[in-house]
Structure 1
Amino acid sequence: MAKESMEKLEACAAALRRHHFDAVAVGSTAEAFDVMKAAAEACRPRLASFGDSMTMRATGILEWLAGNDEVTLLDGFDASKPYAERLEIRRQALMSDLFVTGVNAVTEAGTLHWLDKVGNRIAPVAFGPRKVIIVAGRNKVVADRDAAEERIRRIAAPQNIARHPGFRTPCAKTGVCSDCNSQDRVCNTRMEMLRCWPDNRVLVVLIDEDLGL
């Protein structure tokens, strides 16, 4: 099973490379960290930021960036700061040299799919930072676009709501998306990335572990 799982990730990485992404499949979060660190060192960022992701945090890349004296890390999720200040920091992330985040779904055809509340995670992926690193566990890999949307609707969005106490949405009670109009709704902006431009601007690291939501 482990061999089949890695073969699936390697095939997905090959599909991403055909679509001009830089992509690699690795066996663990430790290996993912090594790949991400090497990519960060190669682009020599002075300013770095990130979009929140449980998978990304599991790799340890944020601690490495925060401890690097040559990098200023913009943290738009620092709970000690007022929300308005955090939003301003997320805006500044659009002009960072390096942006790191996760993704809701990756298709075997080699495309990336997100659904976001604020948009601070997807906007820098689409444009702005010179280098973007995306990290995803094997549980994020799905067959096609329809499966990606279904995964977001039935797994990623409801479980993301569940880890934020106080959010009042129907899925917080039912665990199933009902396409609500709540102020706490996290499903506001959808993005799919079909190709990478310029070539290799986005590095996708696929990890042979079940990670994140």
Structure 2
Amino acid sequence: MDQVIEKVLKNLEKRKIKAKYFETKEDARNIILEEVKSNMTVGIGGSMTVKEMKLHEDLIKSGNTIYWHWLVEPAQMSDVRKKASIADVYLTSTNALTEDGELINIDGVGNRVASMFYGPKKVIVVCGVNKICSDLISGIDRIKAQACTKNATRLNRRTPCAATGQCNDCQSPDRMCNVTTIISGKPEEVDLNVYIVGEELGF
């Protein structure tokens, strides 16, 4: 484990946010599957990291009830997002994690970021080392340059960033950068856990 990761872990703990480090996504997945019992409901926020780890597939096999709007038809998405927000466990990632231990996220609907700090009993945020940034400014820059543009392209959004690969701070009807949050400490009513993985995951 290098010095940057050690610094992030210590600063998360200072902020009363539980933190663990795993060398591989397989190690992280195994621990998560141990922690999430088969009788627990699981909400999932829009996350390429969770998808890449195939956590939802393993949890479905374990008999968990999964609420993830990516798995349902458009007409059901709103209802599923609401159910996910009050699940026993909420799984997601973060768009950026600063060396000081702050989680930065930019959302379109807002369900993912809201559920990270209010609603579920336990939140597990899985974060690849590619999302660690030096500070808040570099974190926001990273999100706009990488996460937002790639998500816009993935979702076929008609935004300037989907066409150019660069943020233009647009006011497009398809704009996704609508809600920006910074988690600077443990939310009072949520058991917040950040699991850092020594691999590149998501974007």
Q: TM-score, normalised by structure 2?
A: 0.93
| Partner Cα separation in structure 1 for residue 39 and residue 107 of structure 2 | 26
Q: Output aligned runs, 1:109-128, within 5 Å.
A: 109-128=100-119
Q: Output aligned runs, 1:18-167, within 5 Å.
A: 18-41=14-37, 46-69=40-63, 71-79=64-72, 81=73, 83-165=74-156, 167=157
By how many angstroms is 1:200 displaced? 7.4
* Secondary structure, aligned partner of 1:49: strand
Percent of aligned pairs sharing the same letter: 31
Q: What residue identity is the alignment partner of 1:144? A: D
| Partner Cα separation in structure 2 for residue 47 and residue 87 of structure 1 | 17
Q: 1:59 to 1:78 in 2, by over 3 A?
A: closer
Q: What residue identity is the alignment partner of 2:130? A: N
Q: 1:150 to 1:45 in 2, by over 3 A?
A: farther
| Partner Cα separation in structure 1 for residue 107 and residue 97 of structure 2 | 15
Q: What residue identity is the alignment partner of 1:168? A: R
Aligned to 1:192: 182
Q: What residue identity is the alignment partner of 1:180? A: C
| Partner Cα separation in structure 2 for residue 101 and residue 78 of structure 1 | 15
By how many angstroms is 1:45 displaced? 5.2
| Partner Cα separation in structure 2 for residue 133 and residue 197 of structure 1 | 13
| Partner Cα separation in structure 1 for residue 87 and residue 29 of structure 2 | 20
1:60-103: CA deviations, max 9, x gaps?
Answer: 3211211122x211131125x2x231111101212111100011
What count of residue pairs does the alignment treat as equivalent? 203
| Partner Cα separation in structure 1 for residue 67 and residue 11 of structure 2 | 32
Gaps of at least 5 residues in structure 1 are: none
* Secondary structure, aligned partner of 2:70: coil
- Which region of structure 1 is more displaced relative to structure 2, 195-204 or 107-116? 195-204
Are 1:180 and 2:170 an aligned pair?
yes
- C-alpha root-mean-square deviation of aligned residues, in Å? 1.7
Gaps of at least 5 residues in structure 2 are: none
Q: What residue identity is the alignment partner of 1:125? A: M
Q: Please say if residues 45 and 98 of structure 1, whose CA atoms lie closer than 8 Å, have aligned partners that are also in contact.
A: no
Q: TM-score, normalised by structure 1?
A: 0.89
- Which region of structure 1 is more displaced relative to structure 2, 125-134 or 60-69? 60-69
